[in-house]
């Protein structure tokens, strides 16, 4: 059987491996890190586990098309409990509290109580969001393999929401927030999705929550990744960790294999690159196979921005389970995370996960948007870089203990990641947490991942379909293997038809 080499064991790489094995290909994966999952990960510090990724998982609801994909790759099954908290997030400022309820009717009633001055806008927004529930994007088949019938079905599905969609497609989250008069409500909604993002992201997310999708899979991100790794190994794939790919072997316009940093070479019939997009396109392929879409995505940072973060994790010998999670609250003193001043903090405790902290203790993570260039500059001077990490950690702990007084003198583990940490561990372009953010007015651009002039080579994962995220990783992995099946004239397991 033909062999597929996969670069990267993030979610896209692992899933591509599973789909490839299910379609009968030999599979060998090369990952630079020592563990699976890429950005979908978590780390242990003493008795505490800190989760890096899943805040909400689209496709967690049994029966949805995306759920079928997660089950196929082994990420979810009936033994994995899905937690769908009634309150998705809580906002607090002074004596004001706003709960983002999962149920849209409950949310509407609550918002009308909190901000009666915005009655008209709240009703319109919540009613619009409900219409998005009916919108389920096709996940089974690559868009470039769509037939006219598939296209017609997609357009037909969109009809009921077109008028609502138009109200959010061309404005940002900040502009959507400004439609409300109530300042707390304005801040609460931009706490869920950043203010620069396209506003349609919010009704789509709330609709998914209302539909009892987008839950938390028990065990968290690393356990999620490990289940896919297990499935891949059980199907007979070979997985190599601590193997950084440094080049693609190309002969006569065809990818023939890869070269590792240690100089060894490995050949295959197809090469699937599920690593960071910039690394693949500009480093491994030396920028020789770009096109207009790729050039625009990587150069027009106004229309296609990427965002990174500082991520502070705290292991606390105190039970914080009575607090809402995540809690977005106003700081008494703003915190500067490097070129960005924050007046609010989002703290997320995981007391609902017994394996994340000893009994009576709490694992907490705090994420702030941060400027990659600022941190890159600081890194040039290791003393300054260390100083800034310590300064921010100290300020965060001070603000945190003010809000959660039980934590005072009870913080036993502290961990801090900067944009450069994500770059170091995952090779993430500009330390980004996802790929290009959707901004209003920017044309939707996909990378098919099949560079012109280079056969047998495929790019997959979050950098082929903005804005990325876990659903993109599994969907694009499936589509890439469908393209290879089409090339090899193999009947595709998943779409169950000869292609």
Ligand X SMILES: Cc1cc2nc3c(=O)[nH]c(=O)nc-3n(C[C@H](O)[C@H](O)[C@H](O)COP(=O)(O)OP(=O)(O)OC[C@H]3O[C@@H](n4cnc5c(N)ncnc54)[C@H](O)[C@@H]3O)c2cc1C
- Cβ distance to ligand X smaller for residue 203 or 419: 419
Looking at the Cβ atoms of 262 and 496, the one nearer to ligand X is: 262
CB within 8 Å of 280: residues ≥ 6 apart:
7, 273, 459, 463
CA torsion through residues 370, 374, 380, 381, sign: negative
* Cα dihedral: 58, 60, 61, 66 (round 10): 60
CA distances from 215 to 86, 190, 208 (A): 10, 20, 9
User: From the list 314, 363, 468, 492, which residue makes contact with ligand X (rule: CB under 6 A)?
Assistant: 468
Q: Which residue is nearest to ligand X (CB)?
A: 10
User: What is the DSSP-derived secondary structure letter of residue 358?
Assistant: -
For ligand X, the closer CB: 54 or 442: 54
Which H or E element spans position 3? strand 3-7
Listed in sequence order, the DSSP H helices in 193-314 are 201-210, 220-234, 277-278, 292-299
Write the Ramachandran bin of 98: left for phi over 0, alpha for psi from -120 to 50, otherwise beta.
beta
CB of 37 to ligand X, least distance (A): 7
- What is the total count of residues that contact ligand X (CB under 6 A)? 39
| Shortest spacing between CB 201 and ligand X, in angstroms | 12
Distances (CA, A) of 247 to 306, 439, 482: 25, 33, 25
Of 4, 12, 73, 490, the one binding ligand X by CB under 6 A: 12
Residues of span 212-251 touching ligand X by CB under 6 A: 244-245
Asked if residues 59 and 213 have their Cβ atoms less than 8 Å apart, the reply is yes
Contact with ligand X (CB under 6 A) among 6, 19, 27, 38: 38
Is the backbone peptide bond immediately before 495 cis, with ω within 30 degrees of 0? Answer: no
State in angstroms the smallest separation of the CB of 225 from ligand X.
8
Nearer Cβ to ligand X (320/434) = 434
Least CB distance to ligand X at residue 5 (A)? 11
- Quote the least distance from Cβ 16 to ligand X, whole Å: 9
> Which residues within the stretch 259-318 sit at the binding site for ligand X (CB under 6 A)?
274-276, 279, 311
Considering the complex, what minimum distance in angstroms separates the CB of residue 117 from ligand X?
A: 32
Q: What is the DSSP letter of 301?
A: T
Between CA 463 and CA 11 the distance in angstroms is 12
54 lies in the binding site for ligand X (CB under 6 A): yes
Q: Which of residues 341-400 bind ligand X (CB under 6 A)?
A: 367
53 binds ligand X (CB under 6 A): yes
Cβ 431 to ligand X, closest distance in Å? Answer: 9
Question: From CA 303, how far away is CA 286, in angstroms rounded?
Answer: 25
Q: Looking at 36-44, 122-130, 168-176, 355-363, which segment touches ligand X (CB under 6 A)?
A: 36-44
Under the binding rule (CB under 6 A), the answer on residue 51 touching ligand X is no
Phi-psi region of 35 (alpha: psi -120 to 50; beta: other; left: phi over 0): beta
Per-residue binding string, ligand X, 404-443, x by CB under 6 A, is ----------------------xxx----xx---------
Closest approach of Cβ 219 to ligand X, in Å?
15
User: What does the alpha-carbon distance between residue 462 and residue 201 come to, in Å, rounded to a whole number?
Assistant: 17
- For ligand X, the closer of residues 99 and 308 by Cβ is 308
Could you tell me the smallest distance in angstroms from the CB atom of residue 59 to ligand X? 9
Q: Per CB under 6 A, does 32 bind ligand X?
A: yes
Q: Which residue from 5, 6, 10, 298 is in contact with ligand X, where contact means CB under 6 A?
A: 10
Rounded CA separation 302/316 (Å) = 40
Strand partners, 20: none
**Of 392, 406, 380, 388, nearest in space to 317 by CA:** 406
69 in Cβ contact with 171 (< 8 Å): no
- Does position 118 interact with ligand X (CB under 6 A)? The reply is no
Q: Considering only 50-58, 159-167, 168-176, 330-338, which stretch makes contact with ligand X by CB under 6 A?
A: 50-58
Find how far residue 437's CA is from the centre of its chain.
11
Cis amide bond preceding 153, omega within 30: no
Shortest reach from residue 428's CB to ligand X, in Å: 6
Binding-site member from 21, 33, 210, 266 for ligand X (CB under 6 A): 33
Shortest distance, CB of residue 275 to ligand X, whole angstroms? 3
| Nearer Cβ to ligand X (369/402) | 369
Which of 120, 115, 15, 161 minimizes the C-alpha distance to 472? 15
End-to-end CA distance of the chain: 18
- Per-residue string for binding with ligand X, 55-94, x by CB under 6 A? xx--------------------------------------
* Bridge partners (DSSP) listed for residue 308: 370, 432
* Residue 224 Cβ vs ligand X, minimum distance, rounded to whole Å: 10
Q: Where on the chain is the footprint of ligand X (CB under 6 A)?
A: 7-13, 30-33, 38-40, 52-56, 244-245, 274-276, 279, 311, 367, 426-428, 433-434, 461-462, 468-471, 473
């Amino acid at each position: 059987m033909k062999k597929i080499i996969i670069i990267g064991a993030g979610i896209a790489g692992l899933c591509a491996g599973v789909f490839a094995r299910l379609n009968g290909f030999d599979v060998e994966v090369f990952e630079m890190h020592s563990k699976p999952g890429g950005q979908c990960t978590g780390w242990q510090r003493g008795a505490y586990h800190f989760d890096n990724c899943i805040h909400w998982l689209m496709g967690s609801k049994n029966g949805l098309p995306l759920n079928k994909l997660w089950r196929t790759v082994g990420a979810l099954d009936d033994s994995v409990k899905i937690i769908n908290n009634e309150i998705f997030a809580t906002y607090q400022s002074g004596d004001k509290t706003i709960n983002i309820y999962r149920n849209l009717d409950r949310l509407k009633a609550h918002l009308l109580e909190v901000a009666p001055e915005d009655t008209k806008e709240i009703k319109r927004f919540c009613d619009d969001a409900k219409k998005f529930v009916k919108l389920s994007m096709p996940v089974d088949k690559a868009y470039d393999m769509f037939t006219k019938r598939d296209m017609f079905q997609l357009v037909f599905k969109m009809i009921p929401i077109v008028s609502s969609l138009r109200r959010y497609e061309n404005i940002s989250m900040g502009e959507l927030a400004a439609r409300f008069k109530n300042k707390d409500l304005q801040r609460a909604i931009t706490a869920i999705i950043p203010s620069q993002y396209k506003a349609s992201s919010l009704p789509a997310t709330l609709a998914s929550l209302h539909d009892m999708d987008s839950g938390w899979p028990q065990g968290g991100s690393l356990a999620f990744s490990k289940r896919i790794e297990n499935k891949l190994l059980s199907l007979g794939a070979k997985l190599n960790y601590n193997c950084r790919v440094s080049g693609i072997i190309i002969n006569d316009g065809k990818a023939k294999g890869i070269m590792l940093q240690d100089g060894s070479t490995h050949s295959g019939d197809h090469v699937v690159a599920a690593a960071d997009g910039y690394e693949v396109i500009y480093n491994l392929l030396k920028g020789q196979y770009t096109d207009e879409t790729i050039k625009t995505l990587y150069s027009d940072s106004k229309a296609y921005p990427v965002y990174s973060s500082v991520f502070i994790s705290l292991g606390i010998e105190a039970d914080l389970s009575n607090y809402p999670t995540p809690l977005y609250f106003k700081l008494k003193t703003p915190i500067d995370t490097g070129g960005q001043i924050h007046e609010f903090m989002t703290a997320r405790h995981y007391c609902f996960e017994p394996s994340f902290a000893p009994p009576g203790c709490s694992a907490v993570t705090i994420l702030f948007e941060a400027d990659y260039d600022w941190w890159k500059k600081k890194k040039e001077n290791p003393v300054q870089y260390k100083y800034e990490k310590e300064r921010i950690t100290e300020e965060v702990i001070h603000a945190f203990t003010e809000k959660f007084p039980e934590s005072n003198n009870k913080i036993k583990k502290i961990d801090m990641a900067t944009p450069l940490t994500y770059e170091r561990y995952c090779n993430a372009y500009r330390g980004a947490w996802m790929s290009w953010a959707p901004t209003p007015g920017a044309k939707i651009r996909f990378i098919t991942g099949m560079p012109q002039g280079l056969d047998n080579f495929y790019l997959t994962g979050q950098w082929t379909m903005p804005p990325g995220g876990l659903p993109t990783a599994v969907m694009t992995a499936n589509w890439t293997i469908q393209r290879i099946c089409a090339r090899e004239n193999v009947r595709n397991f998943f779409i169950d038809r000869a292609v």
